[in-house]
Structure 1
Amino acid sequence: MRFGITILPEYRWKDAERRWRKAEELGFDHAWTYDHLTWGGLQDSPWYGTTPTLTAAALVTSTIRLGTFVTSPNFRHPLALTREILALDDISDGRFLCGIGAGGGIDTTIQGGPELGPRAKVDRLTEFVELLDTLLTTDGVDHKGEYFETRNARTLPGCVQQPRVPFVMAANGPRSLRLAAKYGAGWVTTGRKADDLDSWFAGVTDLKHRLDDVVGDRPFDRYLSIDNGTYALSSLAAFEGIVGRAAALGFTDVITHYPRHDGIYAGSEDLLDQIAAEVIPQFR
């Protein structure tokens, strides 16, 4: 089992830097930040850009992998995103992971325009991922689709990680699961909304089985964001229990959130230290 932590992009860098450093010092395998223009859970909080945040994080760490949780077509064009991916992969010396999903929430309409329905979102995601894959592996790309266009898009120099940066694909529905299996190096899910932890895990189990049917026996990483039925860092026992259930289901990675002072994901950094020292080694 590998362990990840999400650090929300809400802090001035003088406060954020120590969190990214600490994530590495505590032995987390990967660290993430949200890729939103704003987030419904903290709409009245400060919020900083994803790419500058990850760039700064790459410069103060050396081993931990860094990723977007998750980027989407809501406000990104594949060509512009390609340039950011190339830079992040280079600056981090090949430690960047690109989490990708269909997108939702306030980002869908904050820049104007109609909100797409579920089918159209998956159509757009499919074109987004296919074009992004091409741009990261091919120089001089002409594309004219329903949602995106490029004209002789030059994408040199290419990724540090070959043939390209790994995609970790968020997917719940049949079409997006097939897309994840085709283009992803891994799959990530937050599960479905549920009233209690057992119901949430029942939904996670169903999704995991659906992915397994698509992927088969080939190696494929499976990431679970574990703070949706409850906040996993609410206690040592809660974290240990949730991770144990995820491991039993065959997840290769779990992701929690760095504790905040109040509100959503409120918790203790002392507990985070204890979990890193006592619980995480049990699942290595």
Structure 2
Amino acid sequence: MRAGIVILPDRPWTIGAQRWRRAEAYGFAHAWTYDHIGWRDLVDGPWFDAVPTLTAAVLTTSRIRLGTMVASPNFRHPAHFAREVVTLDDISRGRLVVGVGAGGVAGYDTRVLGQPPLTPRTRVDRFAEFLHLLDRILRDERVTWRGEHYTVVDARATPGCVQSPRAPFVVAATGPRSMRLAARYGTGWVTTGARTNDLDAWWRTVAEAGRRFDDVLGAVGRDPATIDRYLMLDPASPVYSLSSAGFFADALARAAEYGFTDAVTYWPRSSGWYAGDEAVLDRIAADVLPGLRPPGQTTDSDARP
């Protein structure tokens, strides 16, 4: 089991830089940020863009893997995003993970651009085309494509990613079609479970999602051992995963029981979404995360007096 953390891009970099450095020092295996033009009531600000935030995070860390959770076709174009992926992978020297998803149904990212709402079927159609093109552009020398949702002419991503054959994709998926996309393109699959007010009921939705993904992998002939499984602990659960160090440890253990390789929490905020106490992170770093690291691996926090 590996643990990761989402750091929302809602604070000036004087504060954000400290959080990314602390995430690495604490011993998290990976850290992520949301990729939105604006998100829910935080659209009123402050709110910062994902790609510059990740660029700065790359330069202020040295080991932790970093990525989008998740980039979407609501406002990203695969030809331009491929350039951003290559650049981030180069600056990070191969630490980038590309979290991708189909995009929200009717969020600010859609409204601000004046886009009409898409049906669930059309969103997945667009997502399939987005993934196909992003994958091709990052792998092939030149790509020309005219599809239903995107057109690219002589698209290139030279010099290509540091990671071979490209930076890994972690694909968010809930339905059978999007799960098939995760099975085809992903080195990892992401789920949140279904939103509910009952914790045990939420865990049942997590387990059910895992079983459905097993069925998809079997249907397409993909070895389950070749794809990681990421559980987002907080967007749909009724209990914030950092409510205590003990609760977080229990959540990691239960996720592992259900076959997940990775579990992701959220940096505590002072109020509103993911409100919590940052002191819990110190206790997790001392009592929980060391047990997840391979023998002999240390973090900056291990060297503290």
Shorter chain as denominator, the TM-score bin is over 0.9
Q: Alignment partner of 2:98: what SS?
A: strand
TM-score (norm 2): 0.91
Q: Which amino acid aligns with 1:262?
A: S
Residue of structure 1 in register with 2:67 after alignment: 67
Report deviation, 1:198. Answer: 1.0
1:48-63 equivalent positions in 2, closer than 5 A: 48-63=48-63
1:241-280 equivalent positions in 2, closer than 5 A: 241-280=250-289
Report deviation, 1:212. Answer: 1.4
Q: Alignment partner of 1:188: what SS?
A: strand
1:142-161 equivalent positions in 2, closer than 5 A: 142-161=144-163
Are 2:190 and 2:231, in contact at CA under 8 Å, matched by a contact in 1?
yes
The C-alpha deviation readout for 1:200-222, integer Å capped at 9, x for no partner, is: 11111111111112224332100
User: Could you say what the CA RMSD is over the residues aligned between the two structures, in angstroms?
Assistant: 1.1
For the pair 1:79 / 2:79, whether they are aligned, the reply is yes
Report deviation, 1:225. Answer: 0.5
Residue of structure 1 in register with 2:210 after alignment: 208
Residue of structure 2 in register with 1:191 after alignment: 193
Residue of structure 2 in register with 1:96 after alignment: 96
Q: Alignment partner of 2:171: what SS?
A: strand
Q: Alignment partner of 1:232: what SS?
A: coil
Counterparts of 1:192 and 1:96, CA distance in 2 = 28
Counterparts of 1:246 and 1:154, CA distance in 2 = 39
Q: Alignment partner of 1:68: what SS?
A: strand
The C-alpha deviation readout for 1:236-261, integer Å capped at 9, x for no partner, is: 22212221211110100000001111
Q: Which amino acid aligns with 1:54?
A: L
Q: Alignment partner of 1:43: what SS?
A: helix
Are 1:41 and 1:264, in contact at CA under 8 Å, matched by a contact in 2?
no
Residue of structure 1 in register with 2:245 after alignment: 236
Are 2:27 and 2:290, in contact at CA under 8 Å, matched by a contact in 1?
no
Q: How many pairs were matched up? A: 284
Counterparts of 1:199 and 1:243, CA distance in 2 = 17
Counterparts of 1:208 and 1:276, CA distance in 2 = 28
Counterparts of 1:44 and 1:73, CA distance in 2 = 22
Instruction: Identify which range, 77-86 or 232-241, moves more after superposition.
Output: 232-241
The C-alpha deviation readout for 1:29-77, integer Å capped at 9, x for no partner, is: 0000000011115233310010000000000101000000000000010
Counterparts of 1:218 and 1:175, CA distance in 2 = 21
The C-alpha deviation readout for 1:147-179, integer Å capped at 9, x for no partner, is: 000111122101000000100000000000001
Instruction: Identify which range, 85-94 or 152-161, moves more after superposition.
Output: 152-161
Identity of aligned residues (%): 55
Counterparts of 1:120 and 1:221, CA distance in 2 = 27
Unaligned runs of 5+ in 1: none
Q: Alignment partner of 1:187: what SS?
A: strand
